[in-house]
Structure 1
Amino acid sequence: MTYTAWIILTASLVGLSCGIIGVFLILRKTAMMADAISHTVLLGIVVAFIITGEVSGTAMLIGGILAGILTTFLVQGLHALDVQHDAAMGIVFTTLFAIGVILISTSVGNAHLDVQHALMGEITFIPFQMMTLPIIGEIPVATALLLFVLAIVLFFIIAFYKEWKITSFDPALAASLGIPVLFMHYVFMGLVSVTTVASFDAVGAIMVVAMLITPAASAYLWTDKLAVMLVLSGSFGVISAVAGYYVAAWIDTSISGSMAFATGIVFMISFIFSPKHGLISKRVRTVEGA
């Protein structure tokens, strides 16, 4: 594959994985947990680097997952102590992110890990770090990691589809049916964390948040069916990744920033033209009702 094709494929995998996970964030009304986790995984990555000397691979995934679960645990703990949920998220993610920034400045030294890279990523470097896989052949390390994470996400979503659906729409009913709601919540946040970490090095925290929230919010405007929403959200993520790349190439600007901007354009189109919740359809129904 060409250099450009690897970049587009990697970004599309980010859009697909984040788009699917983002649906449940929207339905659970925990969209801003994506912002919190996308920042706090920095701490897990830094600690993993200090221990192993690597910013990729299994150690990075484990560090990010643990940081994400720690974030969820601390937010839940503060909320249980009567701290408002949004305030708890703000306290936890800013504190843990700040610790990660301090560790980068004082402990990491000259390693390829910095705050600018953490926020915006550098997807143009992806094709320079290759590995060889059986059957597939040479593939960028980040792309292989994203393929692996996408497989994990799809497995858990398909295997526990009923449980995710019930716990997202009616946690009380799920508990009455014997479904371990809190355990499923932590498993889900683990999936959010692993998806975020896999996307982190390629596109940075800003695009991860955009891909986790905006495609799912756009899909929510088009359908009330969960399965259709999952397909639409993943598709919107891929469309935003591809369109964002060509916009960035056209005006010579940040690729990740353009992809995040493209998710906003997709949302605006959905907000205006979606047949049920769009501005135009609402205006038509208002006129007809009058």
Structure 2
Amino acid sequence: MDAFWIILTASLAATCCSLLGCYLILRQMAMVGDAISHAVLPGIVIAYLFTGSLDSPLILLGAGLFGVLTTFLIEFFHRKIRVQADAAIGVTFTWLFAIGIILISLFAGQVDLDQDCVLYGEIAYVPLNRWITESGYDLGPTTIWTLGSVTILILLFIGIGYKELFLTTFDAGFAAAIGISTSLWYYLLMSAVSLTTVAAFESVGAILVVALIVAPPVTAYLLTDNFKVMLGLSVLVGVVASAGGYFLAVMLNGSIAAAIAVVAGLLCGLAFLFSPTQGIFRKRSTLAEPVDMQLQKQ
């Protein structure tokens, strides 16, 4: 039964991360998830100092607020100060992460808190943290309820705002010309990324969150030119990587999160090599064909 809960947790995280990752990949902002997962550290520390517990809902609130702040700062540096997007991401998350480390070092003698315990979750422990009602009824791991709720919110967000997200991602100029606020939808998208990252990284770990944001969407991007198909394929790849990674970890007796990331990377590598449209071997076989055969196919 533990295997079911672990795979389900990873699959829910993969669904959220993969769907949003498709937009981030096309916007050339794939590493925003990594930035947010580190930049929320000051929010976690401040919330902990106020509550004295890592289980308080204020921990997620503090992390979420700093996640949103991260996206605002990235956009500010990129749009207003004309810093390149990758440089803006690097400056923002390293600065905020360093502030979090300083806060931890200042209060390390008084509180039981370190950067590892708040940044790197362990998915193997998911089945142990149960939601038990006052009557003693076991509702399953609390992480399932948290990630399940976030997954529903992300699906509703993409379903309701699909047109606006599509236009602002592919042609921001045209979207602005027809009256769609590109800034509004940028911040809504980044807020969704922040929510997903904060909800997922506590249980599955920051490294796996970044892997799921990048690898499944890139794999899907290599396999199709249809964006709706890309969304579906990215989720499928994420779920397959979650199940395959778990069984690989069991077989090797290794880290589950790392194994899932490895399987996701292998799937991306296979798509890179054998994609029917953009694969390396497909391109080589096309170039090797006689010119007249290529013209006949066109």
Identity, % of aligned positions: 43
Which one has the largest radius of gyration? 2
- Partner residue of 1:96? 96
Quickly say closer, same or farther: Cα 1:199–1:113, change in 2 above 3 A: farther
Q: CA deviation at 1:155?
A: 0.5
Cα contact 1:271–1:279 (8 A) shared by 2: yes
Quickly say closer, same or farther: Cα 1:244–1:120, change in 2 above 3 A: farther
Secondary structure of the 2:278 match is coil
Cα contact 1:43–1:97 (8 A) shared by 2: yes
Gaps of 5+ in 2: 292-298
CA distance in 2, matches of 1:209, 1:55: 22
What are the residue-to-residue correspondences of 1:133-282 with 2, within 5 Å? 138-282=139-283
Q: Give the letter aligned to residue 70 of structure 2.
A: T
- Partner residue of 1:115? 115
- Partner residue of 2:81? 81
CA distance in 1, matches of 2:255, 2:270: 23
Secondary structure of the 1:26 match is helix
Secondary structure of the 1:12 match is helix
2:18 aligned with 1:37, yes or no?
no
Query: Alignment length, in residue pairs?
Result: 288
Gaps of 5+ in 1: none
Q: CA deviation at 1:112?
A: 6.8
Secondary structure of the 1:31 match is coil
Cα contact 1:41–1:193 (8 A) shared by 2: no
- Partner residue of 2:14? 15
Indicate the larger mover: 145-154 or 196-205.
Answer: 196-205
Secondary structure of the 2:222 match is helix
Deviations along 1:117-150, whole A, 9 cap, x unmatched?
44542112111111158xx951211111000100
Cα contact 1:121–1:256 (8 A) shared by 2: no
Length-normalised TM-score, structure 2: 0.90
The ranges of structure 1 where at least 4 consecutive aligned residues each deviate by more than 4 angstroms after the TM superposition are 108-113
CA distance in 1, matches of 2:231, 2:112: 35
CA distance in 2, matches of 1:109, 1:8: 38
Cα contact 2:130–2:138 (8 A) shared by 1: no
- Partner residue of 1:28? 27
CA distance in 1, matches of 2:2, 2:111: 25
Q: CA deviation at 1:109?
A: 6.0
